[in-house]
Structure 1
Amino acid sequence: MTVLTVTEPRPRFLDLVASEWLKLWSLRSTGWALLLSTLTVLAFNVGTAWDHYRYWYQYDARSRADFVANEIPLSDAFTGNASLVLMLCAAAMGATALVGEYGSGLIRTTFAAVPARGALMAAKVLAVTVVQLLFGAVVAGASFWLTQAVLSARGAGLPITHPGALRIVVASALLAPVCALTGMALGALLRRGAVSIVASVVVLLLLPMMLSERRRLTAVLAHGTPARAWQRLAWPGPVEPPFPWSAGGAWLVYALWAVGAVAVTVLAVRRRDQ
């Protein structure tokens, strides 16, 4: 009697990406989190521009001229408070995308269906990155357009072709996937939703605030964080900290955090049990 053995084909990487994409959007929290995060970030940015619009004529003529000359409209395009909200929301969504499966136990079924954990995590990372990149692009682009439209009513709006404007939009858009990947990496290490989100707050928000720019060592360490990298790229005027650094260095920080977070996520899942 001949026994036939059926060998199932290994899933292709695109199949894994499609599966992770469907899995991500099957959660109701994904859509709501993106919507609420978008509205909150826009509220901070447009609210700041609206304040300048509302109280425009309470400034004297020289102050109004300095407002445009010093490129303050670019600061309204994406404010510091909005960046903090974006970082927190993106990191939380990145952590939840991975930790949620551990909490529900779905991760066991996933690993049983796809033993190749490295490829599986790479697919999950790609799906989260694409979603967060789209989220960041929509939020940053809409913020710039809305804030400059408000300020244009007072003759203070700037076009996207203005020097430094496109850099602010791109830096703000890329901040979302960088922080989401960082949150995912912390989730892969800690595997607890609340703990991962708290760790994201400490690493992405509190740590940069604790590092002073007045000493070289702490300044260099601060420059190595995504928050300070965004500040460097989004700053419209000349850089005047005690220890200045280049925009190229800030872009490099973005890249290193993203690559490092992906490596940590994949290695942490591959080398640890369920």
Structure 2
Amino acid sequence: MTATTTRSFHMDAPIRRITFREALDSEFAKIRSVRSTYWTLLICVVLSVGISLLIAAVTSANWDTLSATNRATVDMSSVVAGVYFGVLVVGVLGVLVVSTEYGTGMMRTSLTAFPRRSVLFLAKAVVLTLVVLVTGIIIAFASYGVASPFYTKHGVDLSLSHGANVRALLAVPVYLALVALMGLALGFLLRHTAAAISTLVGLFFVVPIITNFLPGTLGKDLNKIVPSNAGSAMMVTHAATPGSTPTLSPIGGFVALLIWTALLIVPAFWFFRHRDA
């Protein structure tokens, strides 16, 4: 009896390794269970689509007063112009995905359940990216549906049979997803909601103002690659007009924004793996 008991006592079951799928399920559950997520995404959609509609209606009403140069710049980026206001909303969502866990102490619980920090970090990034991509697609095509009629009646070609127009629409969810990841990175780096949001606002709205006032070509070159202008360049389909402010090409804007995201994500990942919770 004793031998049997001893033998069964030592036959412990092996410790099961937590899978990435389980980490994804956990992060989806977290983001679904917080009511603020739904409100944030709803505000993002309503704000972006509503402002796109408002800009289109006002532009159409004043079409005859626009100069030929201004008319030439109306393209798909005008249709989705409201997304520039939704950018801040998804950036804040990215911050909150992380900072609220640090604020409530939930991050310690998450790390207890998922001790492999790289898996937890990647799961948060993937879930956030998927949620924002879906939201961005809704914003892009809803904005197109409500705003494009105001421009097409004035002869602006916004047909989706043109690859450039489709590319500009699909750039919207990509732009928003990269901004959300930047917010996520700032949340991991600063671990404080107000500090991370303030940094995000400064990066997107204050830095462009500063670079715009820098003298010579240096200011113009820096102004082109700041995150907000790089994102805007991704959605432009019209050719540059003489005398207009120089911008990056769509692919150049995407690369610049990708670099900005990497500059924040990489150190955020490193610090998350090496700092205490």
Change (3 A) 1:9 1:191: same
Distance 1:43 1:50 in 2: 11
Does 2:270 correspond to 1:267? yes
Distance 2:37 2:146 in 1: 25
Does 2:130 correspond to 1:130? yes
Identify the residue that residue 237 of structure 1 maps to in structure 2. Answer: 238
Shift of residue 169, structure 1, vs aligned partner: 1.3
Distance 1:54 1:222 in 2: 31
- Which amino acid letter does the alignment assign opposite residue 231 of structure 1? S
Identify the residue that residue 224 of structure 1 maps to in structure 2. Answer: 225
Q: Is the 8 A contact 2:203 2:227 kept in 1?
A: no
Alignment partner of 1:164: what SS? helix
Q: Is the 8 A contact 1:84 1:205 kept in 2?
A: no
Identify the residue that residue 147 of structure 1 maps to in structure 2. Answer: 147
Show CA shifts across 1:55-86 (max 9, x none). 55xx27xx69x58962525343022xx24322
Distance 1:83 1:214 in 2: 30
Shift of residue 47, structure 1, vs aligned partner: 0.6
Shift of residue 218, structure 1, vs aligned partner: 2.9
Q: What percent identity do the matched residue pairs reach?
A: 24
Change (3 A) 1:248 1:271: same
Q: Is the 8 A contact 1:175 1:226 kept in 2?
A: no
Shift of residue 165, structure 1, vs aligned partner: 1.9
Identify the residue that residue 78 of structure 1 maps to in structure 2. Answer: 80
Shift of residue 134, structure 1, vs aligned partner: 1.1
Does 2:48 correspond to 1:47? no
Show CA shifts across 1:206-262 (max 9, x none). 112221286333333333322111232333432355665433321211322333433
- Which amino acid letter does the alignment assign opposite residue 13 of structure 2? V
Does 2:80 correspond to 1:97? no
Shift of residue 105, structure 1, vs aligned partner: 1.0
* Aligned CA-pair RMSD: 2.5
Distance 1:77 1:138 in 2: 14
Alignment partner of 1:234: what SS? coil
Distance 1:96 1:203 in 2: 17
Distance 1:74 1:68 in 2: 14
Identify the residue that residue 254 of structure 2 maps to in structure 1. Answer: 251
Change (3 A) 1:163 1:114: closer
Q: Is the 8 A contact 1:125 1:181 kept in 2?
A: yes
Show CA shifts across 1:160-181 (max 9, x none). 2346322321222211111111
Distance 2:236 2:111 in 1: 45
TM-score (norm 1): 0.87
- Which amino acid letter does the alignment assign opposite residue 230 of structure 2? A
Structure index of larger Rg? 2
Alignment partner of 2:234: what SS? helix
Instruction: Kindly tell me the number of residue pairs found equivalent between the two proteins.
Output: 267
Identify the residue that residue 3 of structure 2 maps to in structure 1. Answer: none
Distance 1:273 1:247 in 2: 40
Distance 1:67 1:126 in 2: 42
Shift of residue 265, structure 1, vs aligned partner: 2.8
- Which amino acid letter does the alignment assign opposite residue 18 of structure 2? P
Structure 1 gap ranges (5+) = none
Identify the residue that residue 173 of structure 2 maps to in structure 1. Answer: 173
Identify the residue that residue 37 of structure 2 maps to in structure 1. Answer: 30
- Which amino acid letter does the alignment assign opposite residue 264 of structure 1? P
Per mean C-alpha deviation after superposition, the further-off stretch among 23-32 and 203-212 is: 203-212
TM-score (norm 2): 0.86
- Which amino acid letter does the alignment assign opposite residue 223 of structure 1? K
Distance 1:242 1:88 in 2: 24
Q: Is the 8 A contact 1:148 1:158 kept in 2?
A: yes
Per mean C-alpha deviation after superposition, the further-off stretch among 91-100 and 141-150 is: 141-150
Q: Is the 8 A contact 2:224 2:247 kept in 1?
A: no
Q: Is the 8 A contact 1:148 1:159 kept in 2?
A: no
Distance 1:191 1:271 in 2: 14
Distance 1:179 1:53 in 2: 30
Matches within 5 A, 1:98-117: 98-117=98-117
Identify the residue that residue 215 of structure 1 maps to in structure 2. Answer: 216
